[in-house]
Structures are given as C-alpha cells and as structure tokens.
Amino acid sequence: MKTAEVIYTGDLRTQTTHIRSGQSFITDAPVDNQGKGEAFSPTDLAATSLACCMITTMGIAAKTHEIDMKGARAEVLKIMANDPRRIASIEVDIYMPDLPFSPKEKIILEKAANACPVKRSLHPDLKEVLRIHWA
C-alpha cells in the first residue's frame, strides 16, 4: 500500500493525503522562494519531521521503560542554504516536562532521540543540533 498521495493544486501549493488514515494537509512554497508561506513548506516538513521522529522514538523508549514523558514538546529551527538551495541545518530543542527523570532515564531518552529513523536518513552534510532541556 502506498503511503501518501500528493496533488499539485497550482500556485506552488500541494494537497497531501495519508492513504491509510485519510488525513490531509497542504504545503506552500516559502515566501523566500516565490511562495505565499501560508502553510508548511516541504523543507519545513523535513525539518519538523526530525523533531516528530525524535519525540516519537523517545516515546517508544519511554513506554518500554515505563517513563512518563507526556507533555514533552519540541521547537525546530530550519536554516536554509543556497547554491544549491537546501536545508543547511536543523536545530531541535526538546523541552521535557517537570518530572523527576533519573540519570538512567535521561540517557535512555537521549539515546532514543539520536537513534530516530529520520535522523539516520538525513545527509551527513546536514548539520543537526539536538538540545534536550530537562526541567
């Protein structure tokens, strides 16, 4: 089964549908690349998917080790480069809830974040910065 369907709707916009769930969203080209910037750009999604993957992988580890991390959140900074136009760096700040994480739990969760499949799939020239903030 295919993962998604992407339809170009014109004016540098796409309509994307997740086949299994039927959930959909739009993307727009960014303002700095001829777009309207009214929605996530494809490069925004690439950068954001790194943070989503990190938190999800941490959540899997947390579930396995019975660690409560509900309320964790991430902020993403994407920095573009030109010639060729590409994502130069992604900075992810993960803010953990104000809970008493043990040193062992912190190591488990940090290792999980760094082992996420998106991180492992990115080009080695892409600079990635991960900062986990423990309350």
pLDDT tens, position by position, 18-52:
999 999 999 999 998 999 999 999 999 999 999 99
Residue 16 confidence (pLDDT): 97
Count the neighbouring beta carbons within 10 Å of the beta carbon of residue 109: 26
Q: How far is Cα 135 from Cα 127, in angstroms, rounded to an integer? A: 26
Residue 119 confidence (pLDDT): 97
Low-confidence ranges of the chain (pLDDT < 50): none
The angle formed by the CA atoms of residues 78, 40 and 134, to the nearest 5 degrees, is 50
- Give me the sign of the Cα torsion angle 85, 91, 94, 95: negative
Helices and strands, number each (H, E), in the chain = 3, 6
SS3 12: coil
Residue 49 confidence (pLDDT): 98
CB under 8 Å to 6, separation ≥6 — which residues? 14, 15, 16, 17
Domains delineated in the chain: 4-33 (no CATH), 42-133 (3.30.300.20)
CA distances to 15, 28, 33, 44, 57 from 11, in Å: 12, 8, 12, 18, 36
Residue 15 confidence (pLDDT): 97
